[in-house]
Structure 1
């Protein structure tokens, strides 16, 4: 086989592999618009994340489903209602949730409110509304899931006053209009997997204060 034919053969063989690589890369949740892959999974928690400046060193998990997908839970009257949903992908809701965006579109680095939020448990189930006022405070769209998670754990840490990160700029964290903002955090005891024997303390809900 001539060197030209060998080169052509190698190039044509690499094209499908390159296409596959680009597809896999585009379907990871690493950049803007990092919505979890399966919002209908039963358990969606981060790995244990280091709490900055904790002594002794401590780690905590975050309930990804609540923040990035929304959840359906029974309210006081035992009626199923939507809760959560505080981040989305480049103005695109995950398959599990819907809502109305501001009439005047927010900048992609701005905190904003989504109205008439509704969440469903499965792809074919009906949407359940959030209790009144039915709104969600949303992290800026240009923040990645990793940045948001880092900011949540930073805000949870002692002596950070609940802020989303140290003085900007710092690409590890999420900022709004290039400024720190306050994150409201709620913890809860949760089973974090189907095989878990005991509940553990996790960050169950976190959203930006407006």
Structure 2
């Protein structure tokens, strides 16, 4: 899908958004959280896992509804107290993608990683158009007609589902995704259902462990 994203939109637009979409999938960021991500919020080592410290949120509200008169509002993180941050460990693949993005495109004056060619916050309509076009190239006609990966936000859902399905504890998933555990279990219950055999095997392995 990354190759398809690079191929879409005006010159450079798709390529500028590859790392943006990667943040949604590999770190389960909300689009508004990725738009607010700054270079100083990223720990991107040359090898191994990195870390994103989220401190801001840039939802698109419209000029009439923001105190600054800008299209995108400046807010704290969802489900967090004012000025409370959220730390998200990120795998080496995303670390590499972000490092290459910064090397190629630099950052905005305020350190933001993702911006338009004029330095503005990327509009939801812009990244949605690029995603829609890339999706048509990457998927079969039947898949395109289905809800599969229909919205960029679905990348975040895919990340959380992957973590739950591979056995990451719900408390850890909730902390990384910025959910309460209650909401996480309610929204993603289907990801946890159907793992009875796997859970039973883990319990059996534990019971069959060496006796003391």
Shared fold, TM over 0.5: no
Comparing both structures, which one devotes a greater share of its residues to helix? 2
TM-score by length of 1: 0.31
Comparing both structures, which one devotes a greater share of its residues to strand? 1
TM-score by length of 2: 0.31
